[in-house]
Structure 1
């Protein structure tokens, strides 16, 4: 006896699918029966909680034999029994017409075989002929053994044994019991079903509810088997019990889930101006249930809201959401704490208009538009005022600068004129001062006067522009 411990894992998101976790190779020490069992096994889901999702694990049993020899030690090639109809000695099969095959090695001159339910039968020494196969038809259910013995020049060898397991009968018929705790609105009733198989035993159950696919159920998952959350309606339930030889028995039943009380819509807006009014609805239903509100347009759900009823069964909902203009249909549905739901109410028609503008998917209410325009206008006034102020400040500075330039120009020209006249008077008092030189001095005085008048005119023009 021995024990193997193994633990492993993968980082998030783990593994999803079908695969091999570990492979263990064993070497036999002697003949006998080997039993394999599993203790404290877990397979944990990568769901943040480490939920153990392992519901069933199966052990195994193996029979270990030493290779048998034929005749004397000189025999080197040992025959093997093989069954193409029952290839695994540890599996159950529904085929009751087995076939056994073996090889006739060199120097074989006799073949003896027996087929019975005794695992230790020794075949006799009467040859059946040099056969290398044997078929049997319509054998009864159970565990059977084929015993083979060969003869060569050295005599009869040891008997070889091959086991097959046959089960042609399905499990017993059974019924499905539905337990809804006496409440036809229960959205998760429990199902009870069980059967047995006298020969190979039950291997697995398969169940199908409504339009879902068949799912596999291990024995640990039944009695009770809780259904998934079901909406109101009629469901056909099919359960198959499969034994270890793959024989199937199937049973059916029908399950009815009734809806809880349908809520009422007592107040709703037949016309709603989005962006200006409050969208308000109210009604009555069961106490303390969730109300799911749906607003559709042309069979397409546009808005979905949720609210809850109070202890008196009254419910209310309001919103100021902006909604595109058009004709809409309002309906509600109730859901209690168990997950049971009601039927959907008859739709109420609502004509929605928009107090504002729509820019593609963006809706802007009128009040929002007024606020935006006020902000823009205020910003514009501030910018314009700042520009006027800057212009006034600039003109003020320019006027000051112009006056200073004017004064400087007048002073400069006055000093320049005086200097020229002084130089002319000095030259005039000097002997040899010709008439030609006097004309040059006069031209210089005229040019100076013209320049002063031109600059003064430009300064006056600037002053006019700044007024």
Structure 2
């Protein structure tokens, strides 16, 4: 009884263990469709990479897909209808090593299904052979919070590449003579591997001798059979506007020998530009860094991004790879100021979408000019000294009448000092110069304010010096003469002033003397008159008569002398 109980417990535990292990077993499958196909040399074949999750929810698949590079080359990768919306590693390929890679994911709750399209790979066949497309380094991760790899199997694809396309025609009767070869060409879409934005392709072909009819077909199937018949035969066909996608134009030609093999021509049409996008600056729109970092990215649903054209201001476009350097991208060194960067995303068909953004580069400090000669003779060296950042490049620009005549460079030492000597001959004239510094990072300053240098002829300077020497002596003589003249003028005016004053005072003295003398003379004459009246009454004495005669004579002499002296003074 105990034995049976133990067997029962063992059976239950074994069943539980079996169910537990089975539940956790790897179950997903990676596979390629079609698993096998036949294609002629130079034609296109589209294979689809898919996953079967066997009922489990997954959130990530990664793989490397290898192909023989001598037999196949990848034309493009297409993930527009992928189950994944997140890409750890964007789908990419290398024809030089014969590999394509991807690493995609999907958010919660993940993907569950048996036909999960991951990417499509479009190959072009190169030569006859059997090409095996296989998986390696693959993983399918379950959405269990642990990222458990549940990949259980991988099924590749085999492509048999033959020398020419041989698909059974609708009617292929016995023929005794070979049918002439017909080659389809297209002036609107000349390269079957390229994408075009023209959605009205035109095809043409040469009709063999004896052709009585043709059949054509345009469609997305690479093995389509022509069904639209034209009799008499046509030699060209223009197709109305087609939606975006990959199409195959199929052609058969009928002669007396029957219908020919089917000839096909592929066209790739994409009229839709890449999705709109924006440009961001992870370190800010203002920076002292002369090479700011920008971020940008977009996708194109049909042909894929070919490249980006990046343009700053009026500079020419700079082409960059589609995915490798778009995030982040370092702009080339810019001068201080506000700039506009324009990024144009261009798909493989030439459609484009633009994005633009403004950014500002802050200027570092300008150099300080400590010495220069504002006037030199022609033939002399221009000497400039200054100070700025250590071990930096200084650009000195010489201008004449706003026209740049020379741009020179020098380096500052470890202390920031710099010296510049311009040894080449500069014609006489007036020049200005400015200086700008660029540090080790490439950051630039604004230009200094213009400083002026006058370059004069040596002969002219000599003549000018001689003339100035003589002119200086002449000026001194003129100044001396001028001083003498001014002094003489002053003395003369002073003399005249004194004479005028003396004349005035003389006239005043003359008037005073005359008045005084008149009074004296009046008084004396009255005394003389009295003496004469006394003479009538008595006889004057001899002494009185002599006194009277002598006094009158002397009074007259005194009056004459006074008049003469006053007259001399006034002259």
- Cα distance change on mapping 1:143 and 1:318 into 2, 3 Å: closer
| 2:169 is the alignment partner of 1:74 | no
| 2:294 is the alignment partner of 1:191 | yes
Cα deviation 1:70-106 (Å, max 9, x = unaligned): 6434243233333333233222221212233344445
| 1:71–1:151 contact (8 Å) kept in structure 2 | no
Which of 50, 53, 61 aligns to 2:124? It is: 61
Q: How far apart in 1 are the matches of 2:210 and 2:429?
A: 97
* Residue 157 of structure 2: aligned partner: none
1:360-399 maps to which residues of 2 (within 5 A)? none
Which of 365, 382, 397 aligns to 1:261? It is: 365
| 2:339–2:359 contact (8 Å) kept in structure 1 | yes
Q: Secondary structure at the match of 2:309?
A: strand
Which of 140, 153, 156 aligns to 2:243? It is: 140
Q: How far apart in 1 are the matches of 2:200 and 2:297?
A: 30
- Cα distance change on mapping 1:104 and 1:351 into 2, 3 Å: closer
Q: How far apart in 1 are the matches of 2:199 and 2:386?
A: 71
* Residue 328 of structure 2: aligned partner: 224
1:145-160 maps to which residues of 2 (within 5 A)? 145-160=248-263
**Which of the pair has more CA radius of gyration?**
2
| 2:366 is the alignment partner of 1:308 | no
| 2:332 is the alignment partner of 1:236 | no
Q: How far apart in 1 are the matches of 2:435 and 2:344?
A: 39
Q: How far apart in 2 are the matches of 1:122 and 1:298?
A: 77
Aligned length: 309
Structure 2-normalised TM-score? Answer: 0.44
Which of 38, 63, 75 aligns to 2:96? It is: 38
Q: How far apart in 2 are the matches of 1:88 and 1:298?
A: 56
Superposition deviation, residue 198 in structure 1: 1.1
* Residue 122 of structure 1: aligned partner: 225
Superposition deviation, residue 202 in structure 1: 1.6
| 1:147–1:159 contact (8 Å) kept in structure 2 | yes
Superposition deviation, residue 140 in structure 1: 0.9
- Cα distance change on mapping 1:335 and 1:157 into 2, 3 Å: closer
- Cα distance change on mapping 1:323 and 1:305 into 2, 3 Å: farther
Select between 290-299 and 78-87 the one with higher mean Cα deviation.
290-299
* Residue 434 of structure 1: aligned partner: none
Q: How far apart in 1 are the matches of 2:253 and 2:289?
A: 69
- Cα distance change on mapping 1:154 and 1:202 into 2, 3 Å: same
- Cα distance change on mapping 1:294 and 1:143 into 2, 3 Å: closer
Q: Secondary structure at the match of 1:177?
A: coil
Superposition deviation, residue 272 in structure 1: 8.2
Which of 194, 198, 202 aligns to 1:91? It is: 194
Superposition deviation, residue 267 in structure 1: 6.4
- Cα distance change on mapping 1:315 and 1:144 into 2, 3 Å: same
The CA RMSD over aligned residues, in Å, is 4.6
| 2:398–2:407 contact (8 Å) kept in structure 1 | yes
Which of 436, 441, 450 aligns to 1:347? It is: 450
Q: Secondary structure at the match of 1:255?
A: strand
Cα deviation 1:379-428 (Å, max 9, x = unaligned): xxxxxxxxxxxxxxxxxxxxxxxxxxxxxxxxxxxxxxxxxxxxxxxxxx
| 1:79–1:105 contact (8 Å) kept in structure 2 | yes
* Residue 422 of structure 1: aligned partner: none
Q: How far apart in 2 are the matches of 1:138 and 1:302?
A: 59
- Cα distance change on mapping 1:71 and 1:215 into 2, 3 Å: farther
Larger fraction in strand: 2
User: Where does the alignment leave 5 or more consecutive residues of structure 1 unmatched?
Assistant: 1-27, 41-58, 361-467
- Cα distance change on mapping 1:335 and 1:164 into 2, 3 Å: closer
| 2:204–2:237 contact (8 Å) kept in structure 1 | yes
Superposition deviation, residue 168 in structure 1: 1.1
Q: How far apart in 1 are the matches of 2:434 and 2:443?
A: 18
Q: Secondary structure at the match of 1:148?
A: strand
* Residue 367 of structure 1: aligned partner: none
* Residue 76 of structure 2: aligned partner: none
Q: How far apart in 2 are the matches of 1:113 and 1:272?
A: 87
